[in-house]
Amino acid sequence: MVKTILAVDDEQDVIYTIKLGLEKLDKEIRVIGANSGKKCFEILKNEKKPDIILLDIMLPDMSGWQILEKIKRSKEWNDIPVIFLTARTDTVAKRAGGFLAEGYIEKPFEVTELKDRIDEILKKQISV
């Protein structure tokens, strides 16, 4: 079964790295990229619901915090696990991100660690 991952980041290089890395590690992964909050919600409305969302905090049109809040308030999307994948390394962001989302990973990141974290979260989703 193919797992769909929505990567939301304003840096095209990051989306490319995630897509290339995860799809190379696992042929059952499909990564879709969004470079803004607006694009993220367009994809959520028009494509198959992703299995997980990788979300940057610092985006041009709305913050990752705002996107997460909107996702969690939505009946359609509130069950999609979210991992913050961000350059923010301050303690406040780490604590809030770890509490509000299913994970918090700092950039730069190792693709194998990211995949392990995704697998761990998706396993929990299946067992619930």
Q: Give the residue from 1, 94, 78, 89 showing the smallest Cα distance to 44.
A: 78
Q: Report the distance separating Cα 17 and Cα 36, nearest Å.
A: 17
Read off the pLDDT of residues 70-94 as tens digits, 9 standing for 90 and up.
Answer: 999 999 999 999 999 999 888 888 8
CATH of the domain at 60: 3.40.50.2300
Read off the pLDDT of residues 24-82 as tens digits, 9 standing for 90 and up.
Answer: 999 999 999 999 999 999 999 999 999 999 999 999 999 999 999 999 999 999 999 99
64-73 and 91-100 helices, crossing angle to 10°: 20
Percent of the chain with pLDDT over 90: 86
HSE (side-chain half, CA atoms, 13 Å) at 83: 25
In total, how many domains does the chain have? 1
Range of the domain at 100: 3-127
Q: Give the residue from 52, 18, 51 showing the smallest Cα distance to 35.
A: 18
Tokens found for residue 10: 């304003």
pLDDT band at 97 (very low <50, low <70, confident <90, very high): confident
Tokens found for residue 111: 């693709």
φ/ψ bin of 54: left (φ > 0), alpha (ψ from -120 to 50), beta (otherwise): beta
Q: Report the distance separating Cα 118 and Cα 22, nearest Å.
A: 10
Contact criterion met (CB below 8 Å) for 68 and 55: yes
